[in-house]
Structure 1
Amino acid sequence: MRLALLLLTLLGLALAQPPQTTPPPDLSPEVFRIAKGLRCPVCQGESASESNSGVAQEMRRLIAEQLAQGKSEAEIRQFFVERYGPWILYEPPKQGLTLWVWLSPLIGLALLAYGLWRYLAATRARAVPADVSEEEIARLEAELHQPPDPHRRTP
C-alpha cells in the first residue's frame, strides 16, 4: 500500500509541469511583448500573448513576420488597428472619444470633491448657532474639562 502511494506521488510529480514563464523558443520575447498590448479577438479579457486560441497564435505569427520584415512596433500595432479597429489595443489612444474614457474618472473625482466640500460647508453653517454668547461657550468648555461627578446619575 505504501509502495503504491509512493509510486502515485512520484508519477504525479513527474507529470506535473511548471507554468511556462518564458516564451516558446520559436518566437522572440519581443513578439510576446507586442502581443501583450493587443487583445485576443475571440477571448474575453486575455491579451494575444496570454491566449492559446488559434487567432492569438496567428496574431503572434504575424507579429513575428512583420518584425522579420523590419517593421516597428508602432507599424505593427497600426496594422492590427486597421484590421480589427481601435478596440484591439489594450490601451486605447488618448485622443478623440477615448479621451473622455481617460478623463471621466478625474472629472468624477473632481465633482465628488466639490459636492463633499459644499456639503461640509452647509453642515458647518448649520452647526454653529449665532445666538450663543461667549460666556455660555466658556461655561460649556469649563464643564467639558472638569472630571465627571461620581454621585451624579445620568438618565
Structure 2
Amino acid sequence: MITTPTIVIEWLDGADTDIALPAYETAGAAGADVRANFAPNGREGVTIEAGARALIPCGFRMEIPAGYEVQVRPRSGLALKHGITLPNTPGTIDSDYRGPVGVIILNAGSEPFHIAHGDRIAQFVVAPVVQGQFALGSGLSETARGQGGFGSTGRK
C-alpha cells in the first residue's frame, strides 16, 4: 500500500490567502500546480526580460515529512509556448527547510514574459528520498560502458 504524505502549508504574513494552494489539476497529474503570490509587496507581478531570471514568491512555507522531498519542475506549456523554465530543474525542497517558498524562473525565450499575481508558475512533485552512504574505495567494478561519458552511447 502506498502512503500518501501530507505536506503542511502555512501562509506567510500578508500573503493573499485567496490564491489557491498547490493542487493537482487532473486525476492523473504527477505534479501539483503552484502559483505566484506577490502579496504583500503588491499584486502587479513581474516582467522577466529574455535571458533573465527572477525568484517568484509563492506566499507560503511548508513542512515536508522526513523521507520525502518536493521537486520543483517547469510547466510544459510555459516552456513550449514562451521558453519559461527553471534553471535548476528539478529543484529540491528538503524536508528540513521551513523558510518561504519561491520558484526561480528563467526566461529562455526571445520576448519579455509577464508573471501576474496568481499565475501558475511551476509544478511540485512529492517524491521519496533515499540517502546513500559514501565510502572511499580502492577500485571499482568493470562495466561495458566503462569511462564513456557525455554522448558516448551515440545519438540513436
- Would you tell me which structure has more strand in proportion to its own residues? 2
Structure whose CA Rg is larger = 1
Q: TM-score, normalised by structure 1?
A: 0.18
Q: Could you tell me the TM-score, scaled by structure 2's length?
A: 0.18
Question: Is the helix fraction higher in 1 or 2?
Answer: 1
